[in-house]
Amino acid sequence: MAEQKLNQLFEKFLKKESLFENKSVLQSQYVPEELNHRDDQINQIAAILAPALKNNKPSNLFVYGKTGTGKTVALKYVSQKLTEVAKQQEIPLKILYLNCKLKRVADTEYRLIAQLARMLGRQIPITGLPTDEVYNTFFELVEEEQANIILVLDEIDQLINKAGDDIIYNLTRINADLQKSQITIVGISNDLVFADNLDPRVKSSLSEEEIVFPPYNALQIQTILHARAQKAFKVGSITQGVIQKCAAYAAREHGDARRALELLRVAAEVAERGETEQVLIEHVDVAEEKIERDRLVELVRTQPKQFQATLYSIFTLQEKQKLSKPTERQKIHTGDVYDIYREICKRINLRPLTQRRISDILGELDMLGVINAKVISKGRYGRTREISLSLSQTIEPKVLDILKEDLVV
DNA sequence: CGAGATTCATGTGAAGTATACCTTTAGGCTTAA
DNA sequence: AAGCCTAAAGGTATACTTCACATGAATCTCGTA
């Protein structure tokens, strides 16, 4: 029975014409041939990094801009061109790109250097080695390359917030000892003011050059979407207004082009799965919710058990409050969360962490954007975090399901 | 009535601990001459 | 005797705990107008 159904589904799938000509064009890793509205920035980046082709060390570079303003793609674009030329001319040049935000990959000093060493082709264990040892290995690998090496560290603000700024200092200092190679650091940050709290030495060495990426406006996003859509879709797959709508949504969010592209892609996927021949404007609305939902579901699912338990107790508290006083939404405090958390731990047989740790976890959940947690003083009644879930009503139940499932509540 | 002291609940920094993993080394066993 | 395997020793990073102190506005206290 089930098999028959499946077969039908597959047959249908095969028969049906896809709306996509080339879906990868809309994926976020894709680097297009032409980048719209970023000529200035690209030229600047290229000019700064070009000395690498003459075997000189380029200046370190620091790139700012909000999410989806094309920082990453511009860097990747220049990187590609640069490596192409270097290859043709047989100039030794290597560009390593690494996103520092990735949890458990590059969010500490050890892990960052280890990851870089891995990218140069050496296996490094996840723990156990002294950090200097890993530095030495990395140093050797770099020296072996006998090349200009450019490290592109994306979302570097996250790394430095967590692990301190000596990392950058150490990395820049390595250059002094290198004989046959040189490394250049390119930092990318979403946080515009982040460099202000940096150690002055680190700041001056990291931002020898600075480039700012301003947000796109709605019109610019439209041209970007048009260009990509032309490659991605078969002719006539999208109806009038879809692109405008995607652009409008994204412009509302400080001109986030990545979001716009994702919106367009997911809208098309929704349309394809449904029985429609074209992407309609309604699909964009569905897509917007789906993106948010999928993102959060994935985020919550990949959190450690303790984080999930903490989050679950916040859910529980919120439900309780809704029941007792549906009208006024009072604030949740750290102590309450901790009490419930302990109960939950008992129930699901999880070793409870201390309140100290839960406090940190609440901070991290706040960073992840799952909850809102603000430290406030209630005067006579102490100091605490004021916590509330920051999920939209439509997504909450879904996330709650994931939690229940994962925690076996 | 208002300036200062007090208070509460928890934030937060520093130092210590447990765990999981690493390399090195010494001992024991096998093997080949 | 040389070579190989194994297990113990000694070391590290990371997540977490323990300890101790910091915070900051509502509330209290008390001198003064």
* Number of other residues whose CB lies within 10 A of the CB of residue A379: 7
Does A46 have pLDDT greater than 70?
Answer: yes
pLDDT in tens, A227-260: 999 888 887 778 888 899 999 988 888 889 999 9
Report yes or no: A365 and A373 within 8 Å, Cβ to Cβ: yes
Can you give the distance from the CA of residue A129 to the C1' of nucleotide C1 in angstroms?
35
pLDDT band at A4 (very low <50, low <70, confident <90, very high): confident
Can you give the distance from the CA of residue A382 to the C1' of nucleotide B5 in angstroms?
16
Between residue 39 and residue 98 of chain A, the positions with Cβ below 7 Å from nucleic chain C are: none
Q: What's the mean pLDDT in A272-295?
A: 88
pLDDT in tens, A149-175: 999 999 998 898 888 888 898 999 899
pLDDT for residue A329: 65
- Cα–Cα distance measured from residue A182 to residue A170, given in angstroms and rounded to the nearest whole number: 14
Q: Using alpha carbons only, what angle is made at residue A173 by residues A172 and A175, rounded to the nearest 5 degrees?
A: 80
Which of A205-219, A240-254, A348-362 is the most confident on average? A348-362
Burial class from Cβ neighbours inside 10 Å (0-12, 13-18, 19+) for residue A386 reads middle
More confident residue, A13 or A322: A322
Specify the nucleotide whose C1' lies closest to residue A363 (CA): B11
- For nucleotide C16, the protein residue with its alpha carbon nearest to C1' is A357
Does A310 have pLDDT greater than 90?
Answer: yes
Q: What is the DSSP string of A285-345?
A: HHHHHHHHHHHHHHHHHTS-HHHHHHHHHHHHHHHHHHHH-SSS-PPEEHHHHHHHHHHHH
DSSP A349: T
Chain-wide mean pLDDT for chain A?
90
Q: What letter represents residue A353's amino acid?
A: L
* Strand C at less than 7 A from CB of A125: no
Can you give the distance from the CA of residue A104 to the C1' of nucleotide C8 in angstroms?
30
Can you give the distance from the CA of residue A379 to the C1' of nucleotide C33 in angstroms?
28
DSSP A371: E
Residue A142 in tokens: 């770099």
* Strand C at less than 7 A from CB of A151: no
Can you give the distance from the CA of residue A125 to the C1' of nucleotide C8 in angstroms?
21
Does A194 have pLDDT greater than 90?
Answer: no
- Cα–Cα distance measured from residue A325 to residue A320, given in angstroms and rounded to the nearest whole number: 9
pLDDT for residue A77: 95
Report yes or no: A165 and A199 within 8 Å, Cβ to Cβ: yes
Candidates A182, A235, A173; CA nearest to A206 is A173
* Strand C at less than 7 A from CB of A130: yes
Q: What's the mean pLDDT in A27-45?
A: 91
pLDDT band at A264 (very low <50, low <70, confident <90, very high): very high
- For nucleotide C13, the protein residue with its alpha carbon nearest to C1' is A127
Report yes or no: A373 and A387 within 8 Å, Cβ to Cβ: yes
- For nucleotide C27, the protein residue with its alpha carbon nearest to C1' is A380
pLDDT for residue A328: 62
pLDDT for residue A327: 59
pLDDT in tens, A48-72: 999 999 989 999 999 999 988 999 9
pLDDT for residue A234: 82
Candidates A76, A100, A113; CA nearest to A190 is A100
Does A114 have pLDDT greater than 90?
Answer: yes
Report yes or no: A111 and A162 within 8 Å, Cβ to Cβ: no
Specify the nucleotide whose C1' lies closest to residue A107 (CA): C14
pLDDT for residue A21: 81
- For nucleotide C23, the protein residue with its alpha carbon nearest to C1' is A383
Protein-covered nucleotides of chain B (CB closer than 7 Å) are: 6-14, 20-23
Protein-covered nucleotides of chain C (CB closer than 7 Å) are: 11-20, 22-27
Residues with CB under 7 A from strand B: A 125-129, 333-336, 355-356, 359, 362-363, 375, 379-385
More confident residue, A171 or A6: A171
Can you give the distance from the CA of residue A365 to the C1' of nucleotide B11 in angstroms?
16
Residue A390 in tokens: 């920051």
Does A367 have pLDDT greater than 70?
Answer: yes
Specify the nucleotide whose C1' lies closest to residue A305 (CA): C15
- For nucleotide B22, the protein residue with its alpha carbon nearest to C1' is A128
pLDDT for residue A2: 72
Report yes or no: A137 and A122 within 8 Å, Cβ to Cβ: yes
pLDDT for residue A302: 92
Does A392 have pLDDT greater than 90?
Answer: no
